[in-house]
């Protein structure tokens, strides 16, 4: 059964690459519509497709990782309207989008730097104990 859903996502979901993740996931599920940032830090998704695919989307975008932390997803179903052709990311003004992109990149690069600093450490495992030795 084809349906339409308005989905509101709360949590740390802006400046994280979350909209791109939603777009990719929605397209794989053959949904159409859009995703956008809201001024209050939430993300809004409006999509249409098979009801079960919309339910699956909500499961797949409930992310908790190093950068994205979804705290709640609220969805409201309504009648399918057939107004979308694809699934897109709605963007704000260029300056705002550039700022968000740089902020997202900064998070990822800082994390990468922390991981690279640990490369080269030697780990010896004995039984259940792990000993990390700095290499020089």
List active site positions: 19, 37
Q: How many distinct helices (H) and strands (E) make up the chain?
A: 3, 7
Using CA atoms, how far apart are residues 4 and 13, in angstroms rounded to an integer? 22
H or E element at residue 59: helix 51-60
Using CA atoms, how far apart are residues 43 and 38, in angstroms rounded to an integer? 6
Using CA atoms, how far apart are residues 135 and 84, in angstroms rounded to an integer? 56
Say what angle helices 18-28 and 51-60 make with each other, to 10 degrees. Answer: 150
């Amino acid at each position: 059964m084809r349906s339409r859903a308005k989905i509101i996502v709360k949590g740390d979901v802006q400046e994280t690459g979350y909209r791109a993740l939603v777009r990719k996931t929605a397209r794989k599920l053959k949904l159409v519509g859009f995703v956008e940032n809201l001024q209050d830090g939430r993300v809004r998704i409006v999509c249409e497709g098979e009801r079960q695919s919309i339910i699956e989307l909500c499961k797949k975008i409930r992310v908790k990782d190093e950068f994205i932390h979804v705290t709640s997803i609220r969805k409201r179903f309504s009648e399918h309207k057939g107004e979308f052709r694809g699934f897109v990311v709605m963007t704000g003004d260029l300056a705002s989008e550039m700022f968000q992109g740089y902020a997202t990149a900064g998070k990822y690069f800082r994390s990468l730097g922390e991981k690279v600093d640990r490369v080269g450490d030697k780990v010896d495992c004995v039984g259940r104990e792990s000993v990390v030795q700095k290499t020089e």
